[in-house]
Amino acid sequence: MTTDQSALPSPAPGNFAGRRARRRAMAVGGFLITLFLTFLGLLAITFFIGRVIPIDPVLAVVGDRATQAQYDAAKIAMGLDRPLYEQFFTYVVNVFSGDLGRSVSTGRAVADDLSRFFPATFEMATLGILIGVALGVPLGVTAAARQGSWLDQAIRVVGLLGYSVPAFWLGLVGLALFYARLRWVGGPGRLDIFYDGLVSPVTGMILIDSLLAGEIDIFWNAVWHIILPASVLGFFSLAYIARMTRSFMLDQLSQEFVTTARVKGVPEQVVIWRHAFNPIRVPLITVIGLSYAGLLEGSVMIETVFSWPGIGNYLTTALLNADMNAVLGSTLVIGAVFIVINKVSDVLYRVLDPRAR
Amino acid sequence: MTTRDWLLADSPTSRWQANAGRAYRVFTALLRNPLSVLGGVIILVLLLTALFAPWIAPFSPTGQSLADRLLPPSGEHWMGTDELGRDIFSRVVWGSQITLTIVLLVALISAPLGLLIGAISGYFGGWVDKILMGFTDIFLSLPKLILALAFVAALGPGINNAIIAIAITSWPAYARIARAETLTIRNAEYISAVQLAGAGPIRVIVQHILPLCTSSMIIRVTLDMAGVILTAAGLGFIGLGAQPPLPEWGAMISRGRTFILDQWWVATMPGFAIIIVSLGFCFLGDGLRDVLDPKSEGKS
């Protein structure tokens, strides 16, 4: 009799399963609640930025030369005469019903604009993360397997460069080198000008739309154009993924079961890829999720450089025109995607890793 | 007794001697790591460049000379000239002052703010902790850059607002660290002793908890500086940060965009400055972490 636990009666099997189901239901509920609260927090921040910080939001809409009557009418129309918490409530209800206001510069509803621009960003970021994972994971594993070699040092430097190179600068240098000098890739934009508008948008992702329409030429032209911006994004996720993979692998390779396997004469490749790599797949999912979310952020900087018609470009144009509805709408959408990816990779980690269950 | 013996004494006789000895040990440990030495040198060069910019820069950073427009790098203009005939090297040198100002101010605003919020949260626990950390977590799970962009858009473009926006988005990580550190020392015996002696919460937090958080805070701040520089440059690039004719590096790259295909140096040169300085902070931060916090080696 050493612990209190052994003194407790052992639970009946059925009871145990019931408790597990209840615990899982509570975990799911807790997850949904944190997701909702985080999203509410995001809304509070955008609300704060949009309504509280500007000296006078009414003046921003009606302009300096409005009469007092126009001013008052606009103030009531915008609902700014009501108390702040009521305004916030209206804002939340509007956002959840898909109303993000109207963009001053495009004259359309922000929600419509965003759904038109989002696929281009999604396409680029997804290709970017694929490049990052395809190169980053093997590089990180190799670096850990040959710790201290020149390759390991090189990968370490690449990892740090991922934290210190401005994405927009890398895009510009890439354009100057691979497009202007070497002609290896297409220039800014998603397609050459004479292909523009030939494929009717179905998904909004040109690589998929062109294949659906059976236009192979356009597909290759789109690949030609997307490859550089996606590679620039891929570089940043590669840097981060390789760095994390290396550190996870080093942890595993120093474990005793790895030494045991080696002593028993298991081939080194098997030790690395089966014994050491298998356990790190779960934490890697979290890393890849975080990196994917980071690429959404990175694409904001990249898209202006490549004249890429995505959310980033929309956001930067809106920023320069002080088009606050568009700015806050883009912030909300990118923020929401960011939150969801973050939380989902967190949950995946807990579901897949038996120790965290 | 030499200075070195005094610094390395096993039983320091004053707090000043103990602190100096500790700093000396960290310093010598850093010297053994070539990359952190490189990082330290880069930051030292940045400091000196910013301090002595008027004497280092061969030309005025704003003086235009339209006859010398868009000259390629040469013996006279090391990094070439821009579209208004301004010497790019001189502008990069003067730009170091702006970068240094941004980095210092962001660190001075966000680190103490994060420290205070984290320490209060960890020390009091309960509802205070729940509310403050809930707030922190919301900020942490949002994209920093986008948030900074939205803040600057609302506050208006300019370097001061850029600094405020970056600071607002970077404190949560520090609050997390400070809270974790506070939780580990909150129940230490010496804290109870101070409390029994009648010290109030403010005194305990400021005098006995915050000093113990500093080393992990210094590591994190140094590592974050690269990100701060990149964000500031990004804001400048978009046109929301430092305004022309200020020689901010990101804004300079933005001006050079138009000429990137033929006069590559206009946009490329300031980028190298950003990369070198950011790498410097990364190297030094990595080195500091290895020395001050050996447990977490290799993790980011």
CB contact under 8 A, B264 and A176: yes
Q: How far is B204 from chain A (nearest CA, A)?
A: 32
CB contact under 8 A, A45 and B264: no
Burial class for A234, CB neighbours closer than 10 Å (0-12, 13-18, 19+): buried
Q: Is A202 in the same domain as A131?
A: yes
CB contact under 8 A, A244 and B300: yes
Report the percent of chain B where pLDDT is more than 90: 27
Distance between CA A252 and CA A237 in Å, rounded?
22
Tokens 């370490």 belong to residue: A156
Q: How far is A294 from chain B (nearest CA, A)?
A: 8
Which value, to the nearest 10 degrees, does the dihedral of the CA atoms of residues A158, A163, A166, A172 take?
A: 20
Last residue of a domain, one of A70, A96, A122: A96
With b for 16 or more beta-carbon neighbours within 10 A and e for fewer, the B253-263 pattern comes to bbbbbebbeeb
Q: Which domain holds residue A304?
A: 112-356
Burial class for B21, CB neighbours closer than 10 Å (0-12, 13-18, 19+): middle
For residue B87, give the 3-state DSSP assignment.
Answer: strand
A18 within a domain of the structure (yes/no): yes
Residue A204 sits in a domain of what CATH number? 1.10.3720.10
Distance between CA A102 and CA A118 in Å, rounded?
17
CB contact under 8 A, A176 and B268: yes
- pLDDT for A219: 85
A6 within a domain of the structure (yes/no): no
Distance between CA B259 and CA B264 in Å, rounded?
6
Q: How many domains does chain A have?
A: 2
Which one, of A193, A191, A200, lies nearest residue A219 by Cα? A191
A278's tokens? 């298998």
Name every residue whose Cβ is closer than 8 Å to that of residue A344 and which is 6 or more positions away in sequence: A289
Last residue of a domain, one of A63, A96, A129: A96
Q: Which residues of A touch B260 (CB under 8 A)?
A: 172, 175-176, 180
Whether A114 contacts A311, CB under 8 Å:
yes
Q: Is A83 in the same domain as A166?
A: no
Q: How far is B82 from chain A (nearest CA, A)?
A: 16
A84 within a domain of the structure (yes/no): yes
Which residues of A, range 173-192, sit inside 8 Å of B by Cβ?
173, 175-176, 180
A103 within a domain of the structure (yes/no): no
Q: From the centroid of its chain, how far is CA B149? A: 19
Q: Is A209 in the same domain as A262?
A: yes
For residue B286, give the 3-state DSSP assignment.
Answer: helix
- Report, as ranges of residue numbers, the positions in chain A whose pLDDT lies below 70: 1-17, 52-57, 59-64, 354-357
A150 within a domain of the structure (yes/no): yes
Q: Is A232 in the same domain as A307?
A: yes
B134's tokens? 């809930």
- Report, as ranges of residue numbers, the positions in chain B whose pLDDT lies below 50: 297-300
Cα angle, residue A52 at apex, residues A46 and A55 outer, rounded to 5°: 130
Q: Is A307 in the same domain as A170?
A: yes
Q: Is A238 in the same domain as A333?
A: yes
A197 within a domain of the structure (yes/no): yes
Q: Which residues of A touch B229 (CB under 8 A)?
A: 164
Q: Which residues of B touch A31 (CB under 8 A)?
A: none
Tokens 């980028």 belong to residue: B271
Q: Is A298 in the same domain as A170?
A: yes
| Interface pTM, i.e. ipTM | 0.86
Q: Where does residue A79 fall: left (phi above 0), alpha (psi -120 to 50 degrees), or beta otherwise? A: left
Q: Is A118 in the same domain as A29?
A: no
Which one, of B134, B107, B133, B55, lies nearest residue B228 by Cα? B107
The helix (H) or strand (E) run that includes residue B237 is helix B210-238
Q: CA separation (Å) from A139 to B67, B259, B286?
A: 50, 35, 21
- The percent helix, strand, coil of chain B (3-state, each to 5) is 75, 0, 25
Q: Is A141 in the same domain as A19?
A: no
Residue type, position B114, single letter = G
> Which of the residues A35, A160, A175, A280 would you substitute to probe the B interface, choosing the one with the greatest number of B C-beta atoms within 10 Å?
A160
A264 within a domain of the structure (yes/no): yes
Q: Indicate the length of chain A as a whole number.
A: 357
Q: What is the pTM of this model?
A: 0.85
Q: CA separation (Å) from A244 to A278, A298, A348, B281?
A: 15, 19, 18, 19
- pLDDT for B19: 81
What does residue A102 show for φ and ψ, rounded to 5 degrees?
-110, 140
- pLDDT for A296: 83
Q: Is A205 in the same domain as A297?
A: yes
Which value, to the nearest 10 degrees, does the dihedral of the CA atoms of residues A50, A79, A102, A296 take?
A: 30
Last residue of a domain, one of A68, A96, A124: A96
- The percent helix, strand, coil of chain A (3-state, each to 5) is 75, 0, 25
Q: Is A238 in the same domain as A327?
A: yes
Burial class for A69, CB neighbours closer than 10 Å (0-12, 13-18, 19+): exposed
DSSP state of A6: G
Q: How far is A42 from chain B (nearest CA, A)?
A: 7
Q: Is A91 in the same domain as A125?
A: no
Which residues, listed in sequence order, are joined to residue A109 by a DSSP beta bridge? Answer: A102
Q: From the centroid of its chain, how far is CA A145? A: 30
A254 within a domain of the structure (yes/no): yes
DSSP state of A48: I
